[in-house]
């Protein structure tokens, strides 16, 4: 007899696998769509790293999917420098926390999630979508299913492209996450890797579109020198230690996050993660928001009335309202910061640096912002 499923998850990335494990704990039968990738002669190393907050850490630990200490570096301090003399520092000790965030190697996290799914009998990995009362779309920002369903995805391009790579530094990172806003609107982040004593960092450099080809084509020495200058030589001499990846930056949000599944009676779809929303990486909140979606959907389904079906749109709109409410403050703040630092007029630069220094001295306001970024309080 053919296997039947309660939920089909399209997309087996971090958000999709996390959601599958959460739903399996509720004894729901989950089909996780993960097509076998075409074999590559030499697979490119994944250079991505994510800044995960305490809420995301607790969620992944509860699923036994948190990476080991070498691949999840706690951030004790954060420094944000503007293009003049603006400077803001955050410290985990002042928040009464063991870390402001954890910088997590994407390949290590994905491996832990794959292993957890492999040992979860309620989850079956399938090659293609299957019929189910509820389909969850977790396919990322370029979701094919979202496009096929005709869901409007409102995109605001930023005129910037993110360049990601990794560096070996002559000085240890000291568990400090560093960020620099440059006069040309570019934003550089160094994220500490390889544990507390490490001297390597993950790089995310958001540069204007017109500059990205130059840095993708540059040799490693030229790129290292440019990054050393942009980082004010904070970590000494730099050496590029990984390939480069790039992607255009945007803010985006789907107009609808749930609806009936066309051509299937008593079936519905719902969006989660990057298929539902994209934000600028400057605050490192993208995956945290996606994991929050997964948790919110699992909790809404867990708390449904006994008589209410999984495809009930009134039920799914509870999730939509909750997830959109959590997304709104984060997206407004990140969009506002990006727009502010993209302005190049001298009086704007002076005003924002004055504002940053005022914020650094603000006490309760600074602590409030830090706690919400850390996921230790609701946004």
Q: How far is CA 270 from CA 33, 138, 151, 214, 241, in A?
A: 15, 9, 11, 40, 40
**Gyration radius of the chain's alpha carbons:** 21
Is the distance from CB of 172 to CB of 328 less than 8 angstroms? no
Between CA 213 and CA 232 the distance in angstroms is: 23
The tally of CA atoms less than 13 A away on the side-chain side of residue 55 is 20
User: What DSSP character marks residue 287?
Assistant: H
Residue with tokens 């994407």: 106
Number of Cβ within 10 Å of residue 195's Cβ equals: 16
Domain that holds residue 350: 7-39+46-156+249-374
CB contact at 8 A, 33 and 63? no
* C-alpha span between 294 and 302 (Å, rounded): 12
**338: Cβ contacts below 8 Å, ≥ 6 apart:** 158, 187, 251, 280, 282
Q: Is residue 379 part of a domain?
A: no
**What does DSSP assign to residue 234?**
T
Q: Give the highest mean pLDDT range of 45-49, 177-181, 255-259, 323-327.
A: 255-259
Would you place residue 40 in the very low, low, confident or very high pLDDT band (cuts 50, 70, 90)?
A: low
Query: Where residue 281 falls among pLDDT bands split at 50, 70, 90?
Result: low
Residue 250 sits at the vertex; the CA angle it makes with 247 and 256, to the nearest 5 degrees, is 120
In a domain, 195, yes or no: no
Token readout for 86 is 């603006």
Residue 18 lies in a domain: yes
Q: Is position 136 within any domain? A: yes
Beta bridge partners of 62: none
Q: What is the C-alpha to C-alpha distance for residues 374 and 379, in angstroms, rounded to an integer?
A: 10
Q: How far is CA 217 from CA 48, 109, 143, 182, 201, in A?
A: 19, 30, 29, 21, 21
201 in any annotated domain? no
Q: Which two tokens stand for residue 125?
A: 């990995």
Q: Indicate if the pLDDT at residue 128 is higher than 90.
A: yes
Q: What's the total number of domains in the chain? A: 1
Q: Which of the listed ranges 34-43, 247-256, 340-349 does the model predict with the highest average pLDDT? A: 247-256
250 burial via Cβ count (<10 Å: 0-12, 13-18, 19+):
middle
Neighbours of 222 (CB within 10 A): 13
**Distance (Å, rounded) from C-alpha 164 to C-alpha 240?**
11
Q: What is the mean pLDDT of residues 157-179?
A: 93
What is the distance between the alpha carbons of residues 46 and 34, in angstroms, rounded to a whole number?
Answer: 18
The answer to whether residue 274 sits within a structural domain is yes
Q: Is residue 247 predicted with pLDDT exceeding 70?
A: yes
What pLDDT does 364 receive? 45
> How many helices (H) and strands (E) are present in the chain, helices listed first?
10, 18
Q: What is the pLDDT of residues 200-229, one digit of tens each?
A: 999 999 999 999 999 999 999 999 999 999
Spatial separation of the C-alpha atoms in residues 187 and 21, rounded to whole Å: 35
- Whether residue 276 is contained in a domain is answered as yes
Is residue 337 pLDDT above 90, yes or no? Answer: no
Q: Which residue has the higher pLDDT, 264 or 291?
A: 291
**pTM higher than 0.75:** yes
Identify the pLDDT of residue 371.
46
pLDDT digits (tens, 9 = 90+) for 45-101: 789 899 999 999 999 999 999 999 999 999 999 888 876 566 778 888 876 778 989
* Placement of tokens 């990006």 in the chain: 338
Residue 180 lies in a domain: no
CATH number (domain holding residue 135):
3.50.50.60
């Amino acid at each position: 007899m053919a296997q039947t499923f309660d939920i089909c998850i399209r997309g087996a990335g971090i958000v999709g696998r996390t959601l599958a494990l959460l739903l399996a704990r509720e004894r729901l039968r989950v089909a996780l769509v993960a097509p076998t990738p075409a074999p590559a002669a030499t697979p490119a190393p994944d250079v991505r790293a994510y800044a995960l907050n305490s809420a995301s850490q607790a969620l992944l630990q509860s699923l036994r999917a948190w990476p080991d200490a070498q691949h999840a570096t706690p951030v004790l301090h954060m420094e944000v420098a503007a293009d003049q003399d603006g400077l803001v520092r955050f410290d985990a000790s002042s928040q009464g926390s063991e870390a402001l965030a954890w910088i997590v190697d994407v390949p290590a996290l994905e491996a832990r999630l794959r292993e957890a799914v492999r040992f979860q009998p309620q989850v079956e990995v399938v090659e293609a979508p299957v019929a189910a009362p509820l389909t969850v779309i977790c396919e990322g920002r370029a979701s094919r299913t979202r496009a096929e369903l005709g869901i409007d995805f409102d995109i605001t391009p930023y005129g910037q492209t993110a360049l990601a790579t990794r560096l070996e530094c002559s000085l240890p990172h000291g568990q400090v996450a560093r960020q620099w806003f440059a006069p040309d609107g570019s934003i550089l982040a160094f994220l500490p890797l390889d544990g507390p004593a490490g001297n390597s960092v993950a790089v995310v450099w958001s540069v204007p579109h017109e500059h990205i080809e130059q840095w993708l084509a540059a040799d490693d020495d030229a790129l290292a020198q440019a990054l050393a200058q942009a980082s004010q030589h904070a970590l000494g001499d730099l050496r590029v230690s990984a390939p480069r990846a790039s992607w255009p930056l945007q803010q985006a949000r789907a107009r609808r996050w749930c609806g009936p599944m066309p051509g299937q009676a008593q079936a519905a779809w719902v969006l989660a993660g990057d298929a539902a929303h994209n934000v600028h990486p400057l605050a490192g909140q993208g995956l945290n928001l996606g994991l929050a979606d997964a948790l919110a959907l699992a909790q809404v389904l867990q708390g449904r009335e006994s008589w209410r079906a999984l495809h009930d749109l009134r039920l799914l709109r509870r999730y939509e309202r909750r997830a959109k409410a959590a997304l709104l403050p984060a997206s407004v703040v990140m969009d506002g910061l990006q727009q502010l630092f993209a302005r190049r007029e001298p009086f704007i630069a002076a005003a924002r640096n004055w504002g940053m220094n005022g914020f650094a001295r603000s006490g309760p306001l600074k602590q409030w912002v830090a706690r919400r970024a850390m996921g230790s309080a609701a946004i």
